[in-house]
Structure 1
Amino acid sequence: MAELDEGLQASGGNPQVLTFGTPSVGEILAERYQLEEHIGNDSLGRQLYRGIDVILRRPVAVVLRYPGGESAKEMLAAAVAASRIVHPHLVGVYDAIDEGGRAYVVREWVDGIALRDIVASGPLDAGRSVAIAWAVTDAVAALHGTGMAHGNVHPGTVLVAHDGRVVLTDARADDGATPETDIRAIGAILYCALTGYWPHAEAGVYSVPDGVRDSSGALTTPRQVRAGVPAHLDSLVADLLNPDLPLPSAESLAGELASMGTLDEDEMAEEGGRVDFDAFDSAAASPVPPKPAGRKLAVGVVGLLVLALAGTLAAARVLGDPATPEAPGATTQPGASASQQAKPQGQPVEFKIDPSKVRIVDPQGDRKEVKDAANTVDGDTNTVWKTARYPKPDFGGLKTGMGVWIDLGEAKQVSSVQVVLQTPGADGELRAGTADLGSSAQGDAATVQQYTLVGQKRESMNTTTIFNGPEAKTRYLLVWITKLPKESSSSGYRLAIGEITVRVQ
């Protein structure tokens, strides 16, 4: 349910106020707001209910916090400030009540889908990503115009309603809420929409996976994560997330995003330098903030409306990148994927790995764990190859490691290798070799010994980890795991690889 704002969990953080006591469904608060359904609790310890205003007979969302008083001061102050602003992309706030033992905010019930749930089915194309980011930026600009910062912009508070609106919910008026943090968060929203990842480590156990990082730990750009992201948009996201660069105002950023709605695909794809926000200063000073009038944003909003009307996560798949039509007279290279054919020469593209060219390397094992290797390259992260369960992370002291061997068919200039795990906490490295030494205990031992380290060893690999490729061309790769992560469902240790993606020049 998109109404539940799970929030983002800081590393090692706990909810500021724990929930204790749950109202009964059917209870009427302030003699007006009847609680209909408990939706859930967020990371700040607040309880969210769907309710009904028994006087106006309209659905409402009720956000409760225990206790009230000083502990609820920030929540209530943010609600009061937001209630003074009427904006199509801000959730409407109806009431804010402090009863001492508890406090609650009554706001508009938005029946729709959160961005975090939309991207769970895959990232969005450029037009729809810009449409969402512009709506959020326009809402934030309205807040900033009153001297208030939102302080809680993330994929759980950005909703696509079933009536087609993009709505920003649940502002927080704490000391950390500043216009600058809002603008940085909008850059993160764009990154999330374009890639399906949240570019901060504090995404925690909830919803959107942590941002994709290279072997040095640096955040990869949207164009490095997936093909088809326009260069101009990629530069904008990089600038907004770069803490060393100055930030534009929300109105200037809204103007920049609006201008992208008028660009053709080939114009957006042109290589360029950093985004020039100064060009929009005059627009920002205008009494009427710039609005997107171009066809591209209109198409994006229509696509989002289709998703909202569907009302299911499966519908999010229609927002994926459209197929690239072939140019007149174009020829198709046998064996090449659509993404490989569509990208300009020299830009990293995903290489389609032949499942028959993948196997498990287990030089010290009993060969019982070498099946299901094809699951690592079948395009589905839910189908996995996994090891046996071991009592310790070092394979119980029985072996030095295990890995996945990949034959690319011919020597390729490998740009990166992305590994998706079901559980974080493994240690691993990327190796490359010049020969297929056979599938046997002896061959596996020779493979591990003769293949050279090309990707930096990762301590505590995230669920999604990217290794840089070797400088020279290579045909054979080995993703080598030296430490197992702990299983959440048992006291044992086990590795499960959902997908390996190789990108080549």
Structure 2
Amino acid sequence: MAARARSGSLAPGAVVGDGRYRLLAQFGFDERADAHLWRARDGQLRRDVALTLLVGDPADAEAARLARRTLERAAHAAKFSHSGVARVLDVLNLGNGISSSEGLLGIVVADWTKGTDLVDLVADKPIEPGAAARMVRALADAVEQAHHTGLVLGLDHPQRLRLTPDGSLRLAFPGPLPEATLRDDVKAIGAVLYLLLTGRWALPGGPPAVPTAPHAPDGRLVPPRSLQPRVPVELSSLAVRTISDGDQGGIRTTAAIVRMLDDFTDAEERTQLIRQVGGEEAEEDDGIWTTKKPVKDAKRRRKLALGVTVLVVGAVGILAWLGMLMISFFQDNPSATGPTVNVAAPSSTTQPPASDGNSNPPPAQPSTGQPVKPETVGVYNPEGNGDGPARAKYVLDGKPETAWRTDEYKKQFPALKPGVGLIATFDKPVKISQVKVKGENPGTKVEIRVADEKNPKLTETRVAGGADLSGPSTDITLQQPAEGRYIIVWITQLSADGDKFSSQIADLEFIAAP
């Protein structure tokens, strides 16, 4: 009871860890280990972190032992690196970063994960099955790699997970329970998939705000498809067989889960392609297959009839014109009407190509549009505050001696994050055909992306082109003109200098489509 009383002092603005971390907001509570999940501010490094606070009475020997086991497991996880797991920065215990007056048995400090709470994600309605499979895929891969090294991640509580800006689930609050096993991690993946598909949690110890998954009278877990008929049989079976033991069980390894998720997403992509090729009616139907009769739409029939009529009239006109050409070519009577065609000379309306001394004329040069200048340029980094935001303005000043630079990294993208870039904002949507990137960046790879919103997720942007930067200036010509109000120059690979990686951009120029 004393430990519970001291946990009441955990409120926004309080400091823990010998005054280093100031609590900002609580994001969950895992009552199985009396673990409080907080977002906090590191006063020394001036950055946000995720704290797993193990509350308890230091005089309780059993509670102290269990907390030490959790901290040991978290310390081992600090050596594990994967995008699906927040990096453990520090592990604090009594006498080492925690004073006895704080009412804490331990603290696990991890990188703060930007994004959305998993519980908030499903609060309104379940997730579309294809999106759910893609979200779980990165999490399953993280568990698979961790298990190869003997690590238990401990992701069997929904409030420990967050959805990142790129659409993947991530263990944001590491700190596995003392008795957690590899099997518990596998069952957690099935429970997370079940939660996304139904909005219900299928394992013990979930948060009170999330409804519990129902069970049949015989004790079996009710399949997601019985609660949400739109859930495909494959995903419904995968969730149940991963969670359950005994007759309903059968999937006990993450390798099998990853393989089944990949098979499902591949099949879904093929289905989506078929629906796109099928046209407008296929897009309006949410089912994978349909037997309904075509919609009797009078407006659509009128449009179709008009289109066919235009095609017929055009075809008749072309045939008539070709007939007149043939008559004028073969007819000897000088009084015959029709256009005169001289097959030995070019038409008077066509200019002959300039000769370059070779047998073949030079290719026609494409016309170019005019440069368009954005209102502003800022740093685009969906996973953080961005690199050098104060220098982003230099890419519009036209001065080669000023430049925007990325941070200096010790690992190449995407080891630490998928990339970083600049986002140009225009006063209205523009159609871009080319982007000129100036700056010495050997080895740098960039993509040109288009967005319709000011602060888009990476998955909400469209790739319009890309290139490897070479020389002092690189012209990136888009295959098709891209239209949007926000144009992103996204760096996916940095220039290497020994064991350091960084890139810079001196100037950007956007060319409108002609």
Place the TM-score, normalised by the shorter chain, in its bin.
0.3 to 0.5
Higher RCO (Cα < 8 Å, 6 or more apart): 1
TM-score by structure 2 length? 0.46
